[in-house]
Amino acid sequence: NDGRRDSRSHLLNDTLLADVNIKNALNVYKLQVDALWLEELPLLIGAFKKCLIQNQLNKSNIPIRILDIGCGTGELLIRLIGENGIFEKMISSDIKLLIVGVELDRSIYELCKKRLKNLKHKINVETIIYNVNATKLPFDSNQFDFILNRHMLHCLPKDDINIVLKEIYRVLKQNGIVHFIAEDIEMIYTSIDNDQISREINQLWSEGIYGTGTTLGVDLRIG
């Protein structure tokens, strides 16, 4: 009995340790992602300012059409158009926005729609989310003033990357603006001042994330 109890105890400890390792990794990952957002935000704001200037020069009452390719759970859009969001601080009440999101994964697409449906905002904006593949966008050419493509290309099979880039160019209006960030997955890896956690994080990347990329045939260092 003692032997079985010791065996179960050892297994339980291993399981708990694995959970702790994952939590450590995810906590560090979240800190790094939040830090990257602060670094990337000026680039996004600068790009959207150019779009606003172009809209003012055109003196158009047509909504500014924005496309987010690979919109995921809607995290970026929420930061942009939600209450106290980035766009609320940048645009006047007479400017209308039409924001279109594209997401391939069905479950994530459904979550994005749900989050945006319940989102409170103070700006004049309409959102539409499509569950489609970015290699074949269901839009006519020359449609969008501002296109967002952030941290997505590293998820694509290598043969699809040029196809998606051509689609972005096709649906972008003349003089339109693209805010584009290509991932180098290693840029969100940093060592921390804890040898045990550092080893765990390193193992997560080397055996988990990079291994997954190789298996899927995607380029996690494309950026």
What are 141-199's pLDDT values in tens digits?
A: 999 999 999 888 878 888 899 999 999 999 999 999 999 888 766 665 555 556 666 66
What are 77-121's pLDDT values in tens digits?
A: 999 999 989 999 999 888 999 999 999 999 999 999 999 998 999
Distance (Å, whole) CA 156 – CA 74: 19
Instruction: Look at the chain and report how many structural domains it folds into.
Output: 1
pTM recorded for the entire structure: 0.76
R_g over Cα of the chain: 21
What are 21-80's pLDDT values in tens digits?
A: 556 656 666 666 677 778 888 999 999 999 998 888 777 778 999 999 999 999 999 999
Torsion of the alpha carbons at 47, 51, 52 and 56, rounded to the nearest 10? 150
Please compute, for residue 117, the number of CA atoms within 13 A of its CA located in the half-sphere on the CB side.
Answer: 7
Q: Which domain holds residue 67?
A: 1-223
What are 24-36's pLDDT values in tens digits?
A: 656 666 666 677 7
Beta strands in 37-120 (DSSP E): 64-69, 96-102
pLDDT at 157: 86
Q: Which of these, 85, 180, 88, 81, lies nearest to 127 by C-alpha position?
A: 81
Domain CATH number, residue 179? 3.40.50.150
Q: What is the DSSP string of 41-61?
A: HHHHHHHHHHHHHHHHHHT--
| Kind plus residue range of the DSSP H or E element containing 221 | none
